[in-house]
């Protein structure tokens, strides 16, 4: 370090001590963040109309002179913190949204300070190795084949995109077509098959890959949204079958065993969208729901959902490493050539990206197998408690509550919508609306590490209060 002491003091000559002001700024940010998190369980979950209206101040044009950093941070905190939805808190049950484990949040800050461009092993060996370790642990946790390759991406949408790009490569390579070099113009047709209840982002990924959102063969599903094996069409030629682990409404899983067996017999590639359902593999009591999915060829999941790490964090897994690399790797003269080590950018659409694996590794390390299982099982138990409490008062539960999702109807469409509006305005908790196979329902999704049983009771009371008042 001594060698560089001159350079460090030169900085200081330019003005006030940059180290001291950086430290003060980071300390200030930490204090503000801690205060935010400490109060999040005490405030209404949705932001107030006044807080949202105050955001108009952000419309001011760019000032000629920059504002002092600490003042700017204070402005952010005063203006934006009250206008946030309390997604990090224990009683937000919309979408399928985790919070951030404190350890994952802290690791995110440290990694941001490292500011590593995580494209190449030889340039950033620390984080590249850490990500590799996290991926190996996940492959084992999900019981995927040992040599499965994987990449860290922004979320399940891009994880689906990435894995399906590998699928597109492989099914066309088998018929002698190089899609990376020659594109899809003039290529042999690919048949894509997906269930009627596939997530809309899966269809978007297929669209981005040139496989079309509308030309997908859709397979009928049962009352839980599971693909019906008896409805699987005949498979011929290059084919990708897209299955699902965890329906976004019901939490249901496709019957992987018979579907994958049929598809593989007929030469199709099988992809599984397991944005949150893949995590069922990580615990003995839920594993049976996901049984058989390990026989597929690729998988997508999110870490920012049930692992409770900060956004944006998704994962794409592909059994045949070569297919993923063929779809994602680039070479250019100025870029370091691949050596023996794994280059992260050979497995992702991005070249430059933050080392999002740091938080994943940290979450895994601090929870351990037991902690992960406990978190998942707790959320599922809480889902069952919601369902029991609501059905005891006569409200209809529309799904089998086998995972962390609950669909409840408070009567007809209009009445259910009024109850949900009342509940959202009440502020105790936040749930969204969905239409499940023609029936309007309130959706409760529980995947936050910080949701305690007392939060569930408080929220259940608020739901029953809202329902009684309509
Ligand atoms: C959430 C979800 C997605 C999309 O994930 P993002 O992380 O929002 O991109 C895809 N499929 C399923 C089943 C999901 O639940």
Give the pLDDT band of residue 341 (cuts 50, 70, 90).
Answer: confident
What spacing in Å lies between the alpha carbon of 457 and ligand 1's midpoint? 28
What spacing in Å lies between the alpha carbon of 82 and ligand 1's midpoint? 27
Q: What is the pLDDT of residue 330?
A: 86
Q: What is the pLDDT of residue 13?
A: 54
Q: Per-residue pLDDT tens for 307-338? A: 999 999 999 999 999 999 999 998 766 666 66
What spacing in Å lies between the alpha carbon of 201 and ligand 1's midpoint? 7
Give the pLDDT band of residue 117 (cuts 50, 70, 90).
Answer: very high
Q: Per-residue pLDDT tens for 243-285? A: 999 999 999 999 999 999 999 999 999 999 999 999 999 999 9
Q: Is the pLDDT of residue 11 over 70?
A: no
Residue 41 corresponds to which tokens in the numbers above? 């369980």
Question: Going by CA atoms, what residue is nearest to atom 13 of ligand 1?
Answer: 275
Q: How far is CA 144 from CA 241, 259, 466, in A?
A: 18, 17, 44
Residue 18 corresponds to which tokens in the numbers above? 């940059």
Nearest-atom number in ligand 1 for the CA of 244 is 13
Q: What is the pLDDT of residue 443?
A: 98
Alpha-carbon distance 323 to 166, whole Å? 5
Average pLDDT over every residue of 38-54:
97
What spacing in Å lies between the alpha carbon of 364 and ligand 1's midpoint? 21
CA angle 240, 132, 164 (to 5 degrees): 15
Within its chain, how far is the Cα of 45 from the centroid? 21
Question: Going by CA atoms, what residue is nearest to atom 1 of ligand 1?
Answer: 275
Average pLDDT over every residue of 20-26:
97
Average pLDDT over every residue of 459-470:
97
Q: Are 342 and 135 in contact (CB under 8 A)?
A: no
Ligand 1 neighbourhood includes 155 CB (under 6 angstroms): yes
Residues 6+ away with beta carbon under 8 Å from 38:
none
Ligand 1 neighbourhood includes 92 CB (under 6 angstroms): no
What spacing in Å lies between the alpha carbon of 162 and ligand 1's midpoint? 14
Q: Is the pLDDT of residue 14 over 60?
A: no
Query: If we measure between CA atoms, which residue out of 156, 166, 204, 161 comes closest to residue 314?
Result: 156
Ligand 1 neighbourhood includes 314 CB (under 6 angstroms): yes
What spacing in Å lies between the alpha carbon of 240 and ligand 1's midpoint? 19
Q: Per-residue pLDDT tens for 383-415? A: 999 999 999 999 999 999 999 999 999 999 999
Nearest-atom number in ligand 1 for the CA of 274 is 13
Average pLDDT over every residue of 137-143:
98
Nearest-atom number in ligand 1 for the CA of 95 is 1
Ligand 1 neighbourhood includes 299 CB (under 6 angstroms): no
Residue 274 corresponds to which tokens in the numbers above? 């397991």
Alpha-carbon distance 449 to 456, whole Å? 13
Q: How far is CA 34 from CA 81, 116, 389, 394, in A?
A: 12, 25, 34, 41
Task: Tell me which of 273, 309, 316 to substitute to probe ligand 1's pocket, judged by most ligand atoms within 8 Å of the beta carbon.
Answer: 273
* Mean pLDDT, the chain, whole residue set: 95
Residues 6+ away with beta carbon under 8 Å from 124:
116, 117, 118, 355
% pLDDT > 70, the chain: 95
Q: Report the run of H or E that residue 412 belongs to, with start and end.
A: none
How many secondary structure helices (H) and strands (E) does the chain include? 14, 11
Q: Per-residue pLDDT tens for 78-98? A: 999 999 999 999 999 999 999
Q: Per-residue pLDDT tens for 237-252? A: 999 999 999 999 999 9
Ligand 1 neighbourhood includes 302 CB (under 6 angstroms): yes
- What is the per-residue burial (b if ≥16 Cβ within 10 Å, else e) of 358-384? bbbbbbbeebeeeebbebbebbbebbe
Q: Is the pLDDT of residue 1 over 60?
A: no
Ligand 1 neighbourhood includes 197 CB (under 6 angstroms): no
Residue 203 corresponds to which tokens in the numbers above? 């269809």
Q: Are 269 and 241 in contact (CB under 8 A)?
A: yes
Q: What is the pLDDT of residue 293?
A: 98
Q: Is the pLDDT of residue 174 over 90?
A: yes
Strand order in the sheet with 149-153: 149-153, 314-318, 298-302, 269-273, 239-244, 191-195, 217-219
Residue 221 corresponds to which tokens in the numbers above? 């599903």
Query: If we measure between CA atoms, which residue out of 314, 301, 277, 318 comes closest to residue 167?
Result: 318
Name the DSSP letter for residue 188: P
Q: Is the pLDDT of residue 9 over 60?
A: no
Ligand 1 neighbourhood includes 275 CB (under 6 angstroms): yes
Q: How many CB atoms lie within 10 A of CB 159?
A: 31
Residues 6+ away with beta carbon under 8 Å from 205:
157, 158, 160, 161, 164
Q: How far is CA 100 from CA 57, 134, 280, 296, 302, in A?
A: 29, 17, 19, 30, 13
Strand order in the sheet with 405-409: 396-397, 405-409, 439-445, 432-436
Ligand 1 neighbourhood includes 201 CB (under 6 angstroms): yes
Nearest-atom number in ligand 1 for the CA of 276 is 15
Q: What is the pLDDT of residue 333?
A: 62
Q: CATH for 106-363? A: 3.40.640.10
Alpha-carbon distance 296 to 299, whole Å? 8
- Say what the pTM is: 0.96
Give the pLDDT band of residue 4 (cuts 50, 70, 90).
Answer: confident
Question: Going by CA atoms, what residue is nearest to atom 3 of ligand 1?
Answer: 156
Q: Where are the alpha helices (DSSP H) in 210-269?
A: 256-265
Pairing of strands 405-409, 217-219: unpaired
% pLDDT > 90, the chain: 94
Q: What is the pLDDT of residue 8?
A: 57
Q: Distance from first CA to last CA of the chain, Å, rounded?
A: 69
Q: Are 239 and 167 in contact (CB under 8 A)?
A: no
């Amino acid at each position: 370090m001594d060698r560089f002491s001159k350079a460090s003091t030169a900085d200081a000559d330019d003005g006030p001590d940059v180290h001291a002001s950086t430290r003060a700024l980071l300390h200030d940010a930490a204090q503000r963040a801690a205060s935010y998190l400490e109060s999040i369980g005490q405030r209404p979950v949705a932001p107030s109309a006044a807080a949202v209206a105050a955001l108009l101040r952000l419309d001011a044009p760019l000032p000629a002179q920059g504002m002092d950093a600490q003042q700017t941070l204070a402005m952010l905190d005063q203006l934006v913190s009250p206008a946030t939805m309390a997604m990090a808190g224990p009683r937000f049950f919309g979408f399928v949204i985790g919070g951030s484990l404190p350890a994952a949040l802290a690791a995110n800050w440290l990694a941001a300070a490292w500011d590593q461009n995580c494209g190449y092993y030889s340039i950033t060996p620390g984080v590249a190795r850490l990500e590799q370790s996290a991926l190996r642990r996940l492959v084992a946790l999900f019981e995927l084949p040992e040599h499965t390759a994987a990449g860290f991406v922004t979320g399940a949408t891009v994880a689906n995109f990435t894995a399906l790009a590998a699928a597109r490569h492989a099914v066309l390579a088998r018929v002698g077509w190089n899609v990376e070099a020659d594109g899809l113009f003039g290529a042999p047709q690919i048949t894509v098959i997906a269930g009627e209840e596939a997530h809309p982002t899966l269809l978007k990924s297929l669209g981005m890959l040139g496989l079309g959102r509308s030309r997908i063969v859709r397979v009928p599903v049962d009352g839980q949204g599971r693909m019906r094996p008896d409805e699987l069409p005949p498979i011929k030629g290059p084919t990708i079958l897209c299955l699902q682990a965890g329906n976004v409404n019901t939490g249901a899983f496709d019957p992987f065993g018979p579907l994958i067996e049929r598809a593989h017999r007929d030469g199709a590639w099988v992809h599984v969208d397991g944005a949150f359902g893949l995590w069922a593999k990580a615990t003995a009591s839920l594993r049976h729901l996901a049984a058989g999915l390990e026989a597929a060829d690729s998988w997508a999941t999110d870490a920012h959902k049930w692992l409770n790490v900060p956004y944006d964090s998704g994962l794409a897994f592909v059994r045949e490493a070569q297919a993923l690399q063929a779809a994602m790797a680039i070479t250019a003269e100025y870029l370091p050539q691949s050596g023996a080590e794994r280059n992260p950018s050979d497995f992702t659409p991005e070249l430059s990206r933050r080392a999002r694996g740091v938080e994943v590794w940290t979450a895994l390390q601090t929870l351990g197998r037991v902690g992960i299982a406990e978190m998942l099982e707790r959320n599922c138990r809480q889902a069952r408690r919601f369902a029991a409490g609501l059905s005891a008062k006569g409200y209809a539960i529309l799904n089998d509550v086998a995972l962390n999702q609950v669909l409840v109807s408070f009567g007809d469409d209009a009445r259910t919508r009024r109850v949900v509006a009342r509940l959202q305005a009440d502020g105790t908790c936040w749930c969204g609306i969905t239409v499940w196979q023609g029936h309007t329902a309130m959706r409760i999704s529980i995947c936050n590490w910080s949701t305690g049983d007392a939060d569930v009771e408080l929220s259940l009371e608020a739901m029953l209060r809202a329902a009684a008042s309509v």
